[in-house]
Amino acid sequence: MGRAVSGRPGKFKPGDRVRVRMEDRPGHIRTPWYIRGKTGWIEQVHGKFLNPESLAHGGDGLPKRLLYLVAFNQKDIWTTVQAPKDKVLVDIYEHWLDPVS
């Protein structure tokens, strides 16, 4: 995926509520369709990595993007849930996230 680097902190910290942008754009997108438009919370800040959306098309992956581990209640993702207390965890880049107040 690339090497994490330290730098300025991102927009979000663990515990912050976020919504994944509901966008459909061409290209190599690393944000799963089933999670777009959903609301969750930041579990962990991984750090900055090369952007795989541009790397997949022969780009340099710059600027590096902040990557977060975002958690969602499983029951908010799928309507037929077998274990309603379970979570879905997804790595999502900052440019896909909006704050939820």
> CA–CA separation, 8 vs 30, rounded Å?
23
Residue ranges making up the domain that contains 42: 17-99
Segment 15-21 mean pLDDT: 97
pLDDT band, very low/low/confident/very high, at 93 (cuts 50, 70, 90): very high
Query: Which CATH number does the domain housing residue 44 bear?
Result: 2.30.30.50
pLDDT in tens, 46-72: 999 998 888 887 889 899 999 999 999
pLDDT in the model for residue 29: 79
10: in domain: no
Closest CA to 61 of 15, 1, 18, 10: 1
Other CB atoms within 10 Å distance of the CB of residue 28 = 10
Please count the structural domains in the chain.
1
pLDDT at 83: 79
Q: CA of 42: how far to CAs of 13, 29, 99, in Å?
A: 6, 20, 10
More confident residue, 59 or 1: 59
How far CA 2 is from CA of 48, 68, 70, in Å, comes to: 9, 14, 19
